[in-house]
Amino acid sequence: MKKLNLLLVLAGMFAFSACDDDSNKVKPVDPEVSALSGTWNLSLQVPYAVGEMDPDTWEFERFVNPYPSISLEWTAKSDTITPNADNLSLLGTNLLSKLLPEVVHSITLSENGELTAEYYPSPIFNQMWDSSDGTWKPVEESALMTWMASALLGSSLEADNAEEAQKLEYPLYPRTWENAPSGLVSWSLKDGMVNLKLDMEAIKAQIPADGSSVSFDAVIAMLSGFLGEDKLNDLLENGIPLKYKMESDVLTLYIDKEMVAPYMEVLLPLLPGLWEMAMSAVPADMAPLMPMLLPMLGLEKIEDLQTIWERNTDKFEIALHFKRP
């Protein structure tokens, strides 16, 4: 599990690194690099909080936090055209912004171009807060779907106003964070974006083929199959670009519709097969709940995602939010 979590951090949370080292030369530090450098903690804000009920409409006011750990925004050109991704955006943000802080605590961007991260190497569904006696208790496997459902449906935390809602944070489970190995990923500013570059040999050395449930070569082969060898090689050779913005003490790294379009064109036609494969791997005790998943997302069939992307997508953005400690 330790190797699996590390691979997830490397693949999904940019804990990769490869430095362009020229130790004999002292280069002046770009002011923009200096501004980005340092440690950034993953934001723990709840994505949504409920305020007071309107007595005239019997509806609760929903406050939207601008900086959950991860947010998915997929807006429609027209709300009257179906399907659209409104439900997917809401539920995806709810779930992912609760899962990610269980694995990643912070990233550090060094002025010398190295990127490192703090992560949790053990199974993440191992403790849950018991409000009845104020203790942390192990999560039973049978309770996992209940936790997932509550994460999807959103937080029950309440706030009196938007200002208070923006201060709400999840009660993060107690963790002993570990530093990901250094020398796996480098970062730089390129064409106005944060560019991340992997040292493939260094990463592979951290995830040996023998004695591990994770095969690095198999992961690369799978990515090559999904993205195409040319697209994968381009990412590995030239790096992974991320747009960024800084607002007060918040760093946002994100990708938008234009950036993901070439990969969506490859991935979306593969979804029916991938969905069938995923459903066949669902544990037996969770299988009865799976037919409810697509309707919760506002979809009749998994192919609807391709229809939404091609016919009814206005804005698409996946953003990660970090704050200064």
Q: Which residue in 242, 260, 259 sits closest to 251, CA to CA?
A: 242
Other CB atoms within 10 Å distance of the CB of residue 293:
15
pLDDT tens per residue across all 325 residues of the chain: 555 555 455 555 433 333 344 444 455 667 888 889 999 999 999 898 888 877 888 878 888 899 999 999 999 999 888 889 998 998 889 889 988 998 999 999 999 999 999 998 877 765 666 667 767 666 665 566 566 666 666 666 788 888 898 888 887 777 889 999 888 999 999 999 999 999 888 888 877 654 555 677 777 888 887 777 888 888 888 999 999 999 889 999 999 999 999 889 888 998 999 899 888 887 776 777 788 888 888 899 999 999 999 999 999 999 999 999 9
Q: Model pTM?
A: 0.81
pLDDT of residue 14: 39
Q: What is the CA radius of gyration of the chain?
A: 21
Q: Which residue in 215, 35, 178, 33 sits closest to 104, CA to CA?
A: 178
Distance CA 154, CA 299 (A): 19
3-state secondary structure of 164: helix
Evaluate whether 268 touches 306 at the Cβ level (below 8 Å): yes
* Angle, CA 227 vertex, CA 238 and CA 199 arms, to 5°: 35
Integer angstrom CA distances of residue 305 from 34, 87, 211, 269, 289: 40, 12, 38, 10, 20
Distance CA 112, CA 19 (A): 8
Give the DSSP letter string of 170-183: --PPP---EEPPSS
Helix/strand/coil percentages in the chain, nearest 5: 40, 25, 35
Q: Which residue in 198, 185, 212, 43 sits closest to 121, CA to CA?
A: 212
Distance CA 305, CA 178 (A): 37
Who's near 33: CB < 8 A, 6+ residues apart?
Answer: 111, 188, 189
